[in-house]
A and B are shown apart, each in its own frame.
Chain A
Amino acid sequence: MQGGAGVPVITLENIRKQYGTFVAVDGANLSIGQGEFFAMLGPSGCGKTTTLKMIAGFEQPTEGRILLEGVDVSTVPPYKRNVNTVFQQYALFPHMTVFDNVAFGPRSKKLDSSTIKSRVMEMLEVVRLADFAQRRPAQLSGGQQQRVALARALVNYPSALLLDEPLAALDLKLREAMQLELKRIQREVGITFVFVTHDQGEALTMSDRIAVMNEGHIEMVGTPEEIYDRPSSVFVASFIGSANLLPGVVESVSGASVTVRLSCGAVVDSSGTDFAAGESVTVMIRPERITPGGESIAGRSISGEVTDLVFQGPSVRLIARLADGTEVGAVVGSHTNLTIPRPGDSVSMSWDAKGSYVLKGHPEMAGSTTSNLDHVEANL
């Protein structure tokens, strides 16, 4: 998917956006290819919405360039850019019918009325709302309004469709249905989708590629698998899914395999790139990769004392405390043959060869909330 053929649809070159002394986006570089479903993911205030607004043209970058299909549009106003936005609260025009809402873009471009009519109805077919053309937005459900907003944007055949937290206003069930619906529509029209979300599950489910942002920086760009299995930083590891982050020091390196002595005393074999002996690192192990209660495996096991068992429907979450006090979570599936340990038992926890990954730095670097606050205070 990366890049696709020819020129990328959207290119960000060293984009920086500053409000007074506050830096919202700092040195963002990005290139999004034709037909990609691209997510910008991060906690609130990370700069993802600001980036989207700069692509749409509602904000201008303080520094850097934005290219749309190879053409610099950094200072082009939104109404002259061939991108369209689906707003978080949809921003449907309440005084117009569904048809007139969708026809707004083509009419602004002064297309003739028969073209407008056929294009609007065609797009309403795509979002399955053809029967609702004469309704007003207030007469539609949240999910239907969402689809009108989509049709209204897509009817202009934009180079890229920008979606700002498109599913945030919907309830859980509808949100899950709309995730699939969005994927279907994107496949059908073949237009590049760039969507902003703080929901990592949503990003993993829907996207071809994800840019993880934090405090104005793009931390990592990659496929959902890359981001989940081989995160580039402690922040990415902790923000995507749940992760056990165990501090340790590198003992030895040989090729891509890294041997780490954890703070709890265990020595584990893991993988990662660009490490040196003696370096402080974090070993990430996803809870679902851990098998508790089995035989201990050399280099792929830790042991601790079970402190809690949490029933979660399809699975049970086991929490254990290691020798150094670190808590480790493991998911025990219902299909396991092993007997589930009880609180107070000591337990050996092991994982498969690809179950762990070494990251630069200390686990506390994941605590972005505290450093955020420090940042704000420093500014005051």
Chain B
Amino acid sequence: MSRFGRGAVKSRRARFGSLALNAYAGLALFYIFLPIFVVVLFSFNKPNGKYNIRWQRFTLDNWANPFAEKALTEALLVSLRIAVASTLIATVLGALMAISLSKYKFRGGTVVDLFLVLPLTSPEVVLGSSLATLFINNDVDFGYPTVIIAHVMFQISFVALTVRARIRGFDWTLEQAAMDLGASPLAAFRKVTLPLIAPGIAAAAMLSFALSIDDFIITYFNAGSLLTFPLQIFGEQQRKIPPQINVLATMILIVSVSLLVVGTLAGNRRRRRLEA
């Protein structure tokens, strides 16, 4: 109670203040979640015609046939393939970068820092078009490799920065201790460092996976005729907006939210175990 100051009895002003704060927070959350709610809601809509944009009536038909739209399903698979490949590459490279940046103080470390932040701050249009120019000038055909390279480019930054934030303050003498006890540098990393920083790396990987699935602008420039999930939806919307879009989007949402919940719970349990 006294969290709001001035004794045990909450003043009227303080009470009004906390009420207003709660109302404001509620409104903000409502604003954030409304579009997501609409996406989920319209996956249960039975549209008249090709455009699933007006609420007609409730149906489970769309969920019964989530993969009815062949092109859309194919595009989702393309996106998943790209996301898996690029996330693997970016996680390994980005995590190694973060480890070396936090473990060693070396000349040029600050320059690397700058290069890490650049992809996050530069407009995606610029990044996408420049990369496309580079590919065209070197006669590289657009397709899976170019999209994966493009995704790895911005994912690395996210992974490196996320992992570095999570391993700040990591006690590197633990690695020395492991080597002192007879573990080779590789064994020391595998048995001591990696298990301890794995949660940070997993969080970074999840984030960069989501970024890959989601990316439109950079992908658009570098995909050629390859259609990812966002590109397919964008291309189709002139002609039709099938409710399967909403169904697949809701599925992605459910998967990512459950991953988040599992991750948070595991993280809390682990923290309790390590710190208790």
Q: Which residues of A contact B (CB under 8 A)?
A: 56, 58, 77-80, 84-85, 87, 89, 91-95, 104-105, 108-109, 136, 138-139, 152-153, 156
Main secondary structure of the interface of B (DSSP, over half): helix
Shortest C-beta distance, B189 to chain A (Å), equals: 12
Bound CA span A93–B190, Å: 13
Contacts of B202 in A (CB 8 A): none
The reply to whether B182 and A94 contact each other, CB–CB distance below 8 Å, is: no
Q: Which of B167-190 contact A (CB under 8 A)?
A: 171, 173-174, 176-185, 187-188
Q: Does B276 contact A (CB under 8 A)?
A: yes
Contacts of A94 in B (CB 8 A): 196, 274
Contacts of B179 in A (CB 8 A): 77-79
Q: Which of B143-198 contact A (CB under 8 A)?
A: 171, 173-174, 176-185, 187-188, 191-192, 195-196
Give how many B residues have a beta carbon under 8 Å from the other chain's beta carbons. Answer: 23
Q: Does B13 contact A (CB under 8 A)?
A: no
The reply to whether B183 and A104 contact each other, CB–CB distance below 8 Å, is: yes
Contacts of B182 in A (CB 8 A): 79-80, 105, 108-109, 156
Bound CA span A215–B101, Å: 32
Bound CA span A77–B186, Å: 13
Shortest C-beta distance, A281 to chain B (Å), equals: 45
| 4 further contact pairs, Cβ within 8 A, besides A77-B179, A109-B182 | A87-B173, A93-B174, A93-B178, A94-B274
The reply to whether B177 and A85 contact each other, CB–CB distance below 8 Å, is: yes
Q: Does B139 contact A (CB under 8 A)?
A: no
Shortest C-beta distance, A334 to chain B (Å), equals: 46
**Which residue of A58, A89, A152 is within 8 Å of B181 (Cβ)?**
A152
The reply to whether B192 and A78 contact each other, CB–CB distance below 8 Å, is: no
Shortest C-beta distance, B170 to chain A (Å), equals: 11
Given contacts A89-B171, A138-B274, contact A95 B183 (CB under 8 A): no
Bound CA span A80–B183, Å: 9
Bound CA span A109–B181, Å: 9
Contacts of A56 in B (CB 8 A): 180
The reply to whether A79 and B274 contact each other, CB–CB distance below 8 Å, is: no
User: What are 20 sample pairs from A and B whose C-beta atoms fall under 8 A apart?
Assistant: A78-B176, A78-B179, A78-B180, A84-B180, A84-B181, A85-B177, A87-B173, A91-B173, A91-B176, A91-B177, A92-B177, A93-B174, A93-B178, A94-B196, A104-B181, A105-B182, A108-B183, A109-B182, A136-B276, A138-B274
The reply to whether B274 and A156 contact each other, CB–CB distance below 8 Å, is: no
Of B180, B185, B191, which is in contact with the most chain A CB atoms at under 10 Å from its CB? B180
Bound CA span A58–B185, Å: 12
Contacts of A87 in B (CB 8 A): 173, 176-177
The reply to whether B173 and A95 contact each other, CB–CB distance below 8 Å, is: no
Bound CA span A153–B192, Å: 16
Bound CA span A93–B10, Å: 47
The reply to whether A136 and B177 contact each other, CB–CB distance below 8 Å, is: no
Shortest C-beta distance, B193 to chain A (Å), equals: 10
Contacts of B187 in A (CB 8 A): 108
Q: Which of B222-276 contact A (CB under 8 A)?
A: 273-276
Contacts of B183 in A (CB 8 A): 79, 104, 108
Shortest C-beta distance, A90 to chain B (Å), equals: 8
The reply to whether A95 and B181 contact each other, CB–CB distance below 8 Å, is: no
The reply to whether B276 and A85 contact each other, CB–CB distance below 8 Å, is: no
Shortest C-beta distance, A65 to chain B (Å), equals: 21
Of B171, B177, B184, B191, which is in contact with the most chain A CB atoms at under 10 Å from its CB? B177
The reply to whether B176 and A95 contact each other, CB–CB distance below 8 Å, is: no
Given contacts A79-B182, A156-B182, contact A95 B177 (CB under 8 A): no
**Which residue of A79, A91, A95 is within 8 Å of B184 (Cβ)?**
A79
Bound CA span A153–B188, Å: 16
Bound CA span A201–B99, Å: 40
5 closest residue pairs by CB, A with B = A108-B182, A105-B181, A91-B177, A91-B173, A79-B179
**Which residue of B171, B185, B195, B276 is within 8 Å of A95 (Cβ)?**
B195
Bound CA span A108–B184, Å: 9
